[in-house]
Amino acid sequence: MTKIQLLLASNNPGKQREMQALLGDLGIELLLASDVGLELCVDESGASYAENAARKALAFCSAAGLPSLADDSGLEVDALGGEPGIRSARYAPLPQASDADRRAYLLRRLEGLPRPWRAHFHCTAALALPDGELVMGEGEVQGEVIPEARGQDGFGYDPIFLIPELGRTMAELTMQEKNRLSHRARAVQALRPYLIERLLGGS
């Protein structure tokens, strides 16, 4: 029996691992753009997470003719008025900035400001279908930014995002914990009933 294919509108391997863990039990074959010979760069200068996620999902779906799942997420720090927000992936003023560069720049912006540096991660996930249908899911997780990176199992700002009730950063969580607590997990979980209904026929 052929598996239902779902294209992930991202080239981020960390995201791929998370999505595979979240959706693997559904029997869906999760593909990357490289798996279908697709090279696509989508403008992510939208005014909201939802706009950026929708742009990516619709562009990949149109180009590949496959159901496509995209997300846009960001870290919003209270002390910085919600920065970096939707600019999280482009926050550091350096060309080709790495995750470490972005973390370092954020921490420099926070120097001298009183702690705790309360923050939350937000994610909007978008699923686009070849018939033009588009559906969204959202998720958030509350925490705080800490000045030292901890943990090896995350990416982006995960190593400096502490979940106080656990005493661990997002990068110190197991995949099972992350798939229960993270902003991306919550956004994708909100889409699961729709995935089951539309891609798997409600099975």
Q: Which amino acid is at 66?
A: L
Give CA separation, 109 vs 69, 80, 92, 112, in Å.
33, 8, 11, 9
Cβ within 8 Å of residue 189, ≥6 positions away: 22, 137, 139
Rounded distance between C-alpha atoms, residue 46 and residue 85, angstroms: 12
Q: Are 6 and 20 in contact (CB under 8 A)?
A: no
Catalytic residue among 72, 78, 101, 131: 72
Q: How many residues does the chain have?
A: 203
Question: Which of 70, 81, 66 shows the shortest CA–CA distance to 29?
Answer: 66
Rounded distance between C-alpha atoms, residue 33 and residue 126, angstroms: 16
Active site annotation includes 72: yes
DSSP state, 18?
H
Rounded distance between C-alpha atoms, residue 103 and residue 39, angstroms: 28
Supply the residues annotated as catalytic.
72
